[in-house]
Amino acid sequence: MQRLPWLLLGFAVLWLAGCHARHAPLGNQAYVWQRQWTPALAQAVQKNVDVVHGWRVLAAEVDVQGQWRVFTPDWNVFASTGEPVVAVVRIEGQLPQWDEAVLRAHVQDVVTAWRAHGLSFAGIEIDHDGATARLPAYTHFLAALRPLLHSGERLSITALPTWLDSAELDKLLAQVDEAVLQVHAVQSPRAGLFNPEQARAWLASFARRMHKPWRVALPAYGTRVSWDAQGRIAAIESERPTLVHGDDASELFADPSVMQAFVASLDANPPRGLAGIVWFRLPTDDDMRAWSAATWRAVLARTPLKVSLLAQVGGRREAPLHDLLLLNAGNADVPLPSLVRLDTACKLADGINGFALQRTSQGMFLLRTQAGLLRAGQQLRIGWLRCQGPAAMHIDAWSAR
């Protein structure tokens, strides 16, 4: 009995240690990657100030021909949020070489302009998906940029997992104040947009190399990849439409449920030095390949996602013709179902919008021919039915992730 108080004290110490071991949710920042400023983009920034606490905005880019382009945001919108803003300069990864002095002067112009508009200017980020062999030249360029920044302004880069095996990575990271590790769209498009197991391994490896605060870039979008007849990538369509189309195409997307589970694992057990998440990219009402606003906010706020995919038969005035509809009644964007079964009492039907009719000994089905997402609160017409008489009809749908 005399030992009981000491045992209770021991349990209390262990309990308090467990409480302190719990991690607060990682903070959210967002990439604003649109090249043109629109009312929908301004609204998206203003509506998400409660869940986004830092903006990384595409300020300028150098394309593969070495052409320099500058993008002008609505300065007042970002200033009104009061959150830190990082100006991102994108350098095309396939650019064979650059004139360091000229490029440094361009970056200096960006820094000067962004300081002058009342923003909470936090620094610059260089986004250069260069080959590992180019890391020494990249390191030299970053060293040349450091004198451009004032006290309190940070130099950041986007880091790639392909650099993790390079001995030059340590020298590169020594030049920056922070880094954002990109773990989406870094492999062959046929491997998909995001793999949580692979991403977790990359984060663990990067944590061993990075000795300053760093963040991870996670996807909140989809993309369409087209290949030509020789199997080469013909076009990648994401935040901007493209006029180039290949012979074969696939829709890739980041499943919100998968991403939410991945974020929960990071919140519970963050790698050493991980300071937060940067989401690519801020969704807008006119960006049909980004997540819906409802899904985006649920994932960032750690609110449970409600998956509710309904299959409905809608009537037309010209009965007995009926529309087949998929309705997303939840707050989670969901993958389109791979198969939809039609009522056998109906003899005529067809599919549209990525679905094709298939007849089997078990009945008629609509087979998905193109992957995609149905955004929260939206509906999609996937076909039609023609039935004689008042026969009851129903549709069964199975999602394939």
DSSP 295: H
Instruction: Average the pLDDT over 149-173 and give the result.
Output: 98
Q: What is the pTM of this model?
A: 0.87
pLDDT of residue 38: 94
pLDDT of residue 268: 97
Q: Is residue 135 over pLDDT 90?
A: yes
Give the chain's mean pLDDT: 87
Q: Report pLDDT digits (tens) over 238-254.
A: 555 444 444 556 778 89
Q: Can you tell me whether residue 266 is helix, strand or coil? A: helix
Angle at the Cα of 28 from the Cα atoms of 189 and 377, rounded to 5 degrees: 70
- Asked whether the beta carbons of 220 and 238 are under 8 A apart, the reply is no
Please give the single-letter amino acid code of residue 148.
L
Q: Can you tell me whether residue 162 is helix, strand or coil? A: helix
